[in-house]
């Protein structure tokens, strides 16, 4: 497996020399604009709920990539515009409804309000309303044993931490990016994906998504949390049945 680089912010994952603020297209055959990239993510993500098995891995990778993009930093206008343009195709399942809710909220919210939400939720004065790190959710402290175990597993999978990264690798955005990379890598089988998920996300990320869905400081990010809640449930079922 080729080496991969963990790069900032929030230990963002890249597999090429360049980093960008928008999620890369998943197995896109041609270059796409950022808006087209995110529309592509939407189509692949919705395929999970619609049962298109041939698109499942790309769909899962797309959901993880979009969640990571929304959580690694304040979404810029370009990303918010792309989310506003997503098409949920009018489905009635929980996943599609969560996706449509995110789109509608993105269409009505001001970018400056999203910026303020992000800072209140994740930065704050000394600490935000939420602490989006695996060690915190598992032990109540940062930089604890779960982070050490994560670093060992990342190294075994070929991920390398960039020298200028400041954030711990157990930031939820970084872990979503790792899962996105694993899901789209044909050399990583489902059993290995399941093992990584259960070791480093499965025990706590559901609580994080529920906390985000109910966050006092959130309007836009409550809809992100709702999408995370529903996707977490789908992902657990998928990994259990497929492994």
Domain count, the chain: 1
Give residue 34's pLDDT. Answer: 38
CA 201/CA 65 separation, integer angstroms: 15
Query: Which span out of 13-17, 20-24, 53-57, 71-75 was modeled with the highest average pLDDT?
Result: 71-75
The average confidence (pLDDT) of the chain is: 80
Q: Which residues have C-beta within 8 Å of that of residue 148, sequence separation ≥ 6?
A: none
Give residue 72's pLDDT. Answer: 93
- Using 50, 70 and 90 to split pLDDT, how confident is the model at 3? low
| Residue 170 CB neighbour total at 10 angstroms | 28
**33 or 152, which is more confident?**
152
Give residue 14's pLDDT. Answer: 33
Average pLDDT of the segment spanning 75-86: 91
- Using 50, 70 and 90 to split pLDDT, how confident is the model at 203? very high
**Residue 7 β-bridge partners:** 12
- Using 50, 70 and 90 to split pLDDT, how confident is the model at 79? very high
Decide if 56 contacts 47 (C-beta within 8 A). Answer: yes
Q: Does residue 10 carry a pLDDT above 60?
A: no
Give residue 106's pLDDT. Answer: 95
Q: Does residue 4 carry a pLDDT above 80?
A: no
The two structure tokens encoding residue 67: 């969640």
Give residue 5's pLDDT. Answer: 55
Decide if 228 contacts 241 (C-beta within 8 A). Answer: no
Residue whose pair of structure tokens reads 């939407």 in the numeric block: 42
pLDDT digits (tens, 9 = 90+) for 108-127: 999 999 999 999 999 977 78
Residue whose pair of structure tokens reads 């919210």 in the numeric block: 109
Average pLDDT of the segment spanning 80-87: 88
Residue 68's domain is classified under what CATH number? 1.10.3480.10
Decide if 159 contacts 200 (C-beta within 8 A). Answer: no
Decide if 94 contacts 47 (C-beta within 8 A). Answer: no
Using alpha carbons, list the distances in angstroms from residue 174 to 10, 86, 125, 179, 190.
6, 23, 23, 9, 20
Give residue 23's pLDDT. Answer: 32
Average pLDDT of the segment spanning 169-181: 95
Q: Does residue 143 carry a pLDDT above 60?
A: yes
State the residue range of the domain holding 133. Answer: 4-242
Dihedral (Cα; 77, 79, 84, 90), 10-degree rounding: -170
Q: What percent of the chain has pLDDT over 70?
A: 76
- Using 50, 70 and 90 to split pLDDT, how confident is the model at 164? confident
Give residue 166's pLDDT. Answer: 78
Supply φ then ψ for residue 126, to 5 degrees: 95, -40
CA atoms within 13 A on the CB side of 206: 10
The two structure tokens encoding residue 185: 């890598």
Decide if 220 contacts 113 (C-beta within 8 A). Answer: yes
CA 240/CA 135 separation, integer angstroms: 24
């Amino acid at each position: 497996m080729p080496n991969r680089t963990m790069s900032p912010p929030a230990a963002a994952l890249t597999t090429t020399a360049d980093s960008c603020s928008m999620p890369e297209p998943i197995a896109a055959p041609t270059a796409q604009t950022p808006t087209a990239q995110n529309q592509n993510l939407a189509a692949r993500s919705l395929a999970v709920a619609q049962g298109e098995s041939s698109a499942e891995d790309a769909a899962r990778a797309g959901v993880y990539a979009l969640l990571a993009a929304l959580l690694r930093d304040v979404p810029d206008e370009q990303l918010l515009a792309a989310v506003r343009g997503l098409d949920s195709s009018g489905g009635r399942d929980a996943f599609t409804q969560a996706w449509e809710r995110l789109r509608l909220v993105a269409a009505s919210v001001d970018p400056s309000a999203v910026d303020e939400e992000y800072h209140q939720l994740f930065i704050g004065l000394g600490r935000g309303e939420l602490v989006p790190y695996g060690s915190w959710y598992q032990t109540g402290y940062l930089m604890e044993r779960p982070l050490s175990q994560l670093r060992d597993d990342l190294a075994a999978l070929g991920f390398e931490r960039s020298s200028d990264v400041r954030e711990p690798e157990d930031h939820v955005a970084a872990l979503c990016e790792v899962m996105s990379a694993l899901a789209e890598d044909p050399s990583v089988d489902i059993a290995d994906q399941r093992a990584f998920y259960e070791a480093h996300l499965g025990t706590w990320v559901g609580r994080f998504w529920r906390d985000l869905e109910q966050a006092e400081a959130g309007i836009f990010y409550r809809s992100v949390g709702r999408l995370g809640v529903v996707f977490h449930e789908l992902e657990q079922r998928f990994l259990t049945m497929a492994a």
